[in-house]
Structure 1
Amino acid sequence: MQKLHYPGVEETLYYEQLPNGLSVYLLPKEGFQKTYATFSTRYGSVDNHFRSGSQPLTRVPDGIAHFLEHKMFEEPTGDIFATFASQGASANAFTSFDRTVYLFSATEQIEANLTTLLDFVQHPYFTDQNVDKEKGIIAQEINMYSDNPDWRVYYGLIEAMYQKHPVHIDIAGTVESIYKIDKELLYLCYNTFYHPSNMLLFVVGGIDSDRIMELIRSNQAAKPVEDIGEIERFFDPEPQGVREPLKSIRLQVSLPKCLFGFKEKTNGLGSAELLVRDVTTKLMLETLLGSSSPLYQSLYDDNLISDSFGYEYNCSTDYGFSIIGGDTSDPDRLVERVKEAIGDALQSGLDAAAFERTKKKRIGSYLRMLNSPEAIAGEFTRYKFRGQDLFELLPAYESLTLEQANARLREHFDLSQLAVSLVLPTAEQGAEPS
C-alpha cells in the first residue's frame, strides 16, 4: 500500500492496485464520524460504441449505462437499498456522461456496508422479466423529465451544440432506445466496463486504512476475474460549429429559461493540459460572470437575472462546453448583454484586481471543500478517471496568471461556437420575447 502525502493541503492518501486491476484509494480523516465510499466505473452515457480485447466492435442503445445502473440494485434476495438501511447507511448511485458511481454514507457498520457495496456491484442479476419491468419504470422517468423545464433547457443546449458526439444524447436515452435493451446487452456492457481494471474504489472518513485495505483485499481475492483486454471507445468526428444556434420549446413556466454557451474546439489534450484548461476556464468565467462581478450586478439591477443565474464548464478529452444563464424576463437582451461584456473583455482583458480576488476566492472554496468528506468523495473519481489528482488543484490554481486567463478567454469565446437554448411560456401564458 503506497502512502501519498500532499503537504500543501495536509492530506495523506493510501493507494493500492489489486491483482485484479482494481484501484483502491483510502483517505483517513481523523475525528470525522461519517464515512463515504464510492465504487465507480469509467463508463457513462457517451460510451455507446466500443470494443474490448477480441470482442467485435459493438454499438449499443442510448441510455444503457443508466439502465444498467438501475438494474444493479436488484438482487435475487430483494432490493439492496433495504440492506444498506438495515446497516444504518444511506446508499445511492448516478450515471454521468463518463462514469457510473455507486456510493454509501454511514457512521456505523462501515465494514459491513463496504462489503455490501463491493458485493452487489460485482454481482449482476439480470433476467428477461426484471429487464422488461425496468423498461416501463425508466420510460416513466424519461417522460417525467421531458416535462421538466430545467432539464429541457439544459439538455436542449447540449443538443444544440453537438452534431455527432454522444454527449448530446440524454443520459437516460429515449423511450424508443431503452426498449431495444435486453439482458444480453446488459451483461455485455457489464462484463466490459465493470471489470475491476476499469473501476476505482474510494473511501474517506474516520477509517483505519490498514484494516479497511485488508478487508478489500480479502473480498476481491475471493472473486477471480479474467483479463478482458483494453477497452477501446469510438466517437464519430465532431464537426466544428454548432448543430443549431437557437433551440426553443414551450412549457408551463412563469418566466423564460435561457441557457447559452460555447462549444470548445477540442484538440486531444493530455490530462495535465486538460486540468490547466479546466481550472483556467472556471476562474476566467467566475471573474467575468460570478456573483461578485460588475456584469452580474448590472444584470441583477436591470431585473434581467435572478439568483438562478450562473455558469458551469464541462470538459473531457474529446468535448468541452460552457453553460451560462438562468431564468430571465428577456432572453434576447440577456444574451446580448453578456455578449457585449465578452466583447469588452476581449478588447481590454480581464480586470487584474478582480482576477486576483476571484483566484483567492476559488482557492478558499477548494480548501473548504477538503473539509467535507462528502464533497471529496464526489470529486475524487471524476478527476482520477481523467488522469488527474484532486489534491493537485491547489498548485494548479496558485500558478495561474492573468495572461493565461486572458488567453483562455480569447480561445473559448468564439461566436461561431455559440448556441442558445430557451424554454418559453406556453402561448396562453404570454407572447414569445422579441
Structure 2
Amino acid sequence: MKEIFYPEVNETLYKKRLKNGLEVTLLPKSDYHKTYSIFTTNYGSIDNDFVPLNQEDFTKVPDGVAHFLEHKLFEKEDEDVFQKFGRQGASANAFTSFTRTSYLFSSTDYVKENLLTLLDFVQTPYFTEDSVNKEKGIIAQEIQMYQDDPNWRLFFGILNNLYPKHPLHIDIAGSEDSISKITAEDLYLCYNTFYHPSNMNLFVVGNLDPEEIMATIEKNQEMKHFEPASSIKRRFPIELEKDIIKEDKIELSIKRPKAIVGLKGLDEVPSESTDRLKYQTSIQLLLQLLFGITSSHYLEMYNDGLIDDSFSFEFSLDRSFHFADFSTDTINPEQFANQMVNLILKSDKSPELTEQNLALAKKKMIGKHLQSLDSLEYIANQYSAMKFDDVTLFDLTKIIESITLKDILNVRNTFVRPEGLSRFYIYPKPN
C-alpha cells in the first residue's frame, strides 16, 4: 500500500491497485465520527458507442443505459439494498453523470459491513426482462420531471447547440423512446464492459484504520472472479465548429425569459496531468475574474437590469468535451446574450485582468477549497471528479498558487474564439 502525504493540507492518502485492477484510495480522518465511501465506474451517459468486452466490433446501445443500470443495480432477487443499508445504520445513494456512475454510503457504525454491502451489490448484477420493463415506467416519470424543469431544459438547450452530434447533448436518463428499447441484454452488455474492476475506483474517507479496511476490501475482491482486464474502446461522432448551432429558442410555461451563452473549447487540451489541472483551474480563475460578483462586468450588467441573482456560470472539462456556460433569468435575453458575447470576445482587454485582482481571486479560491476539505462528501466526490492520473484535489492548492497572469491570458487566448460561441433562449408561452 502506497502512502502519499500532502503537506499543504496535512493529509495522507493510502492507495493500492488490487490484482483485479480496482484502484482503492483511503483517507483516514480520526477526528470524524462518520465514514463516507464512493464506488465509481468510469462510465456515464455519453458512453453509448463502444466495443463490448471480448468482442471486436463497435456496438451502439440506446441512450440512457448508464442511468438505467444505476437504478437496477439496487434491485436484487431476494432483497432491497436500501433496506439492508438502513438496517446497518447507513444512508446510501447513487448518481450518474456524463462520464461516471457512482454508488455511495455514509455511516457512523458498521463501516466494514456497509463497505462489503457496497462492493457486493455493485458487483452482483441481477436483471430480468420483467424487472427491466417495470423500471421503464419509473424512469419515464423521472425524464418527464426533468423535461418540466426550465433550468434543466436551458442547460441541455445550450449543450444541443454546442454538441449537436455528440451524445453530451442527450439527457443523462435518455428519452422515453430510447429507454423503451432497453433490454436486460443491453444492461448486461454494458455492465460487463464498464463495471470491470480495472475501470473502477473505490474511495473511503473518515474514521478508519487503513490497514484494516484495505485488508477487508482485498479479501472481498479475492473471493470474486472477473474476466481479464482489457482496454475499453469508445467512439464519438466527429464534430466541426461549423456544426455548432449559433442560436436557438423554445417556449415553456415560465414567467420570465431565460438566456444562456455557451463557449465550446477546442478538442486539444493538455495531456499531462498537472498541466491539465492547471488549464482547468486557470479558466475557472479567468471566469471568476471576468464575471464574479465583485467584477465591474457583473455590476454593470446587474445595474442595467440584464441579470439578477439567478446569474451563474460554470466550466466543465472531461474526456471528449469542455465548455463554459453563462445563464440568467432576464427580461432582455437577447441584450444579455449580446453583452456577454461582447465581454467574452473582448476579455483580453478587460480591466479585471490585473495582478492585484488575480492575487485576490487565488486567495479566495484557495480559502474556499480548504474550507470544503472539512466535508467528507466533498473530498470523496471531488477526488473522483478531479483526478488526473496521480494529480488529485490535494494538489490543487499548489496548482492555484503557481498560476500567473500570463497563464490566465494564455488560456483565454486558447479558449475564447468567436466560432465556439452559441446562445439559447427560453421564452414564456403566450397566454
Q: Which moved more, 1:381-390 or 1:209-218?
A: 381-390
Displacement of 1:411 in angstroms is 2.2
1:325 match: secondary structure: strand
Displacement of 1:242 in angstroms is 4.8
Displacement of 1:11 in angstroms is 0.7
Partner of 2:240: 239
Q: Distance in 2 between matches of 1:344 and 1:185?
A: 48
- Provide the aligned C-alpha RMSD in A: 1.6
Partner of 1:189: 190
Displacement of 1:338 in angstroms is 2.2
2:14 match: secondary structure: strand
Question: What TM-score does the superposition give when structure 2 sets the normalisation length?
Answer: 0.96
* Amino acid in the other structure paired with 2:170: I
Q: Distance in 2 between matches of 1:166 and 1:386?
A: 25
Displacement of 1:52 in angstroms is 4.8
Q: Is the 8 A contact 1:41 1:200 kept in 2?
A: yes
Q: Distance in 2 between matches of 1:247 and 1:326?
A: 16
Displacement of 1:306 in angstroms is 2.0
Partner of 2:19: 19
Alignment of 1:193-272 (within 5 A): 193-267=194-268, 269-270=270-271, 271-272=273-274
* Amino acid in the other structure paired with 1:51: V
Partner of 1:149: 150
Q: Is the 8 A contact 1:352 1:402 kept in 2?
A: yes
Q: Given the alignment, which residue of 288, 297, 318 partners 1:295?
A: 297
Q: Structure 1 residues 210 and 171 mapped into 2: Cα distance closer, same or farther (>3 Å)? A: same
Following TM superposition, where does structure 1 have runs of at least 4 consecutive aligned residues deviating by more than 3 angstroms? 385-388
Q: Which moved more, 1:410-419 or 1:321-330?
A: 410-419
Partner of 1:369: 372
Q: Distance in 1 between matches of 2:234 and 2:295?
A: 41
* Amino acid in the other structure paired with 1:277: Y
Partner of 1:30: 30
Q: Is the 8 A contact 1:274 1:317 kept in 2?
A: no
Q: Is the 8 A contact 2:21 2:229 kept in 1?
A: no
1:232 match: secondary structure: coil
2:410 match: secondary structure: helix
Question: What TM-score does the superposition give when structure 1 sets the normalisation length?
Answer: 0.95
* Residues 168-193 of structure 1, C-alpha deviations (whole Å, 9 max, x = no match): 11111111111111011100100110
Alignment of 1:329-368 (within 5 A): 329-348=331-350, 350-368=353-371
Q: Which moved more, 1:202-211 or 1:340-349?
A: 340-349
Q: Structure 1 residues 139 and 248 mapped into 2: Cα distance closer, same or farther (>3 Å)? A: same
Q: Which moved more, 1:126-135 or 1:140-149?
A: 140-149
Q: Is the 8 A contact 1:283 1:405 kept in 2?
A: yes
* Residues 376-425 of structure 1, C-alpha deviations (whole Å, 9 max, x = no match): 11111112366641111111111101011112222222122111121211
Q: Given the alignment, which residue of 264, 276, 288 partners 2:278?
A: 276
Aligned pair 1:96/2:97, yes or no?
Answer: yes
Q: Distance in 2 between matches of 1:222 and 1:352?
A: 57
Displacement of 1:247 in angstroms is 1.9
Q: Is the 8 A contact 1:52 1:230 kept in 2?
A: no
Q: Is the 8 A contact 2:41 2:199 kept in 1?
A: yes
Aligned pair 1:396/2:419, yes or no?
Answer: no
Q: Is the 8 A contact 1:163 1:239 kept in 2?
A: no
Q: What residue ranges of structure 1 are gaps of 5+ in the alignment? A: 429-434
Q: Distance in 2 between matches of 1:347 and 1:82?
A: 58
Displacement of 1:90 in angstroms is 1.1
Aligned pair 1:84/2:85, yes or no?
Answer: yes
Partner of 2:424: 421
Displacement of 1:281 in angstroms is 0.5
Q: Distance in 2 between matches of 1:39 and 1:137?
A: 24
Displacement of 1:8 in angstroms is 1.6
* Residues 187-228 of structure 1, C-alpha deviations (whole Å, 9 max, x = no match): 010011001111000001111111111111111111121214
Displacement of 1:144 in angstroms is 1.7
Equivalent pairs, count: 428
Q: What residue ranges of structure 2 are gaps of 5+ in the alignment? A: none
Identity of aligned residues (%): 45
Q: Distance in 2 between matches of 1:406 and 1:307?
A: 28
Q: Distance in 2 between matches of 1:215 and 1:307?
A: 48
* Residues 334-355 of structure 1, C-alpha deviations (whole Å, 9 max, x = no match): 1222233334432356133222
Q: Distance in 2 between matches of 1:122 and 1:212?
A: 18
Q: Structure 1 residues 59 and 351 mapped into 2: Cα distance closer, same or farther (>3 Å)? A: same
Q: Is the 8 A contact 1:87 1:113 kept in 2?
A: yes
Q: Is the 8 A contact 1:274 1:316 kept in 2?
A: no
Displacement of 1:79 in angstroms is 2.2
Q: Distance in 1 between matches of 2:192 and 2:255?
A: 47
